[in-house]
Amino acid sequence: MASEKPSLEGLRIDRSESVVEGGRGRLWIALAIVVVLALAVWGWLARPRAAEVKAATAQNRTGGPAAAGAVLNASGYVTARRQATVSSKITGKVVDVLVEEGMEIREGQVLAHLDDSIPRKSLALAEAQLGSQRRSLAENEVRLRQAKLNQDRMKRLHEQGVSTKADLDTADADVDALVARLELGRQDVQVSERQIALRRQDLDDTVIRAPFSGVAVSKDAQPGEMISPVSAGGGFTRTGICTLVDMKSLEIEVDVNESYIHRVQPGQKAMATLDAYPDWQIPAHVIMPVPTADRQKATVKVRIGFEQLDPRILPDMGVKVAFLGDEKAGAVPGKPVVTIPRAAVRKDGDRDVVFVIQGNKVERRAIGLAAGTAANTDEAVVTSGLAAGEQVVVEGPADLKDGATVSVQGSESRR
């Protein structure tokens, strides 16, 4: 029996080595999974991301200001040469306001009334003082007549030897004193009359009238508010009743790059196009370039007058102007043009390029711009390389390259 026991022990399976080998296998599998996941995360993080850009659509505009015949194009605003915020001459409380936005106002028309209780009382006091001084003056005139009679009497008595020289001198002194007092009284009356005129002017200043004919574009005060010709601290005092614009004085102001100002001459014909009415051509002419330059923007302001005003033309409207050459001054532009925002145009050496959006990628494309498209304008006229309806990048990374993946965040709103 003792010999059989070792043989049975030899038949037992030893599992210790297989357990160790199985544990090592599972460890290698786990490590491989971790490595694969790490590579996947690294690949996801290292992938090229889409650049965020803003886009605008090229517009096909008929008869724009940059059509044939233009030697220079510029943009600006409609301005009024005659515009005023109507205020008061004095500080006072607003009683009523007789104007509303959009009202047509005539010169001298009453716009508002201020509280006139104090000016009226001051005028009444001045008139009472004048009345008192006039009565005092009348009393002095009576006394002067009496003093002259007494003087004549003293002269006769002195000549007869009845009165002394002292009595005559006293009579003469009384006359001279009353003459001086009478002259002072007349001057006091004149001062009081001028004081009354001043008080009447103060009373008249409580009525605010229109300085010229025009249209009220804003109502700046309400009854119960204080108004003053100067700004007061705290922000509770108004400085105007309304803003009045003379619609007959409307004109255009544009900024022209000083490099192109030699193309602009007084009296030169021009064609204006309001941003609100892009298909409406408005004949205009150059009044004059303002004889000073803006050193910050390197531009010169040019005043342009309308050949004929229209109710659709309003102050502060955006407008684009084409300065016409002499040979085409009488022509009305009518050729379709493609326009894009000026911010979409980039410089590549001496070439103008844009990035056109194709799907989720961009294509770098060279374009041609119309002659006279100044760098300071907000719109560029494309003559070649771009068709209406294509989207171009307006804002994006400075290092944007051809074929780059992009994500359009927003489109610029354009008419």
Domain ranges of the chain: 47-63+335-415, 70-82+246-329, 83-115+206-245, 117-198
**Residue 385 Rama label (left phi>0; alpha psi -120 to 50; beta):** left
Q: What is the pLDDT of residue 172?
A: 84
Residue 352, Cβ neighbours under 10 Å: how many? 19
Q: What is the pLDDT of residue 95?
A: 94
Q: Give buried/exposed letters for 103-137 (b at 16+ CB in 10 A, else e).
A: bebeeeeebbbbebeebeebbeebbebbeebbebb
CATH architecture assigned to 70-82+246-329: Beta Barrel (2.40)
Q: Which residues of the chain have pLDDT under 70?
A: 1-25, 41-49, 61-69, 231-235, 326-336, 371-378, 410-415
Q: Residue 107 in contact with residue 211, Cβ under 8 Å?
A: yes
Q: What is the pTM of this model?
A: 0.57
Q: What is the pLDDT of residue 46?
A: 56
Q: What is the pLDDT of residue 255?
A: 93
Give the angle 371-374-376 at the CA atoms, nearest 5°.
165
Q: What is the pLDDT of residue 76?
A: 93
Q: Residue 285 in contact with residue 323, Cβ under 8 Å?
A: no
Domain 47-63+335-415 coded CATH 2.40.420.20: yes
Q: What is the pLDDT of residue 188?
A: 87
Class of 83-115+206-245 in CATH: mainly beta
Query: Could you tell me whether strands 237-238 and 226-227 are parallel, antiparallel, or unpaired per DSSP bridges?
Result: parallel
Q: What is the pLDDT of residue 314?
A: 93
Chain segment 95-136, per-residue pLDDT in tens: 999 999 999 999 999 999 999 999 999 999 999 988 888 888
Q: What is the pLDDT of residue 49?
A: 64
Phi first, then psi, for residue 128 (nearest 5°) are -65, -40
Q: What is the pLDDT of residue 198?
A: 92
Q: What is the pLDDT of residue 254?
A: 94
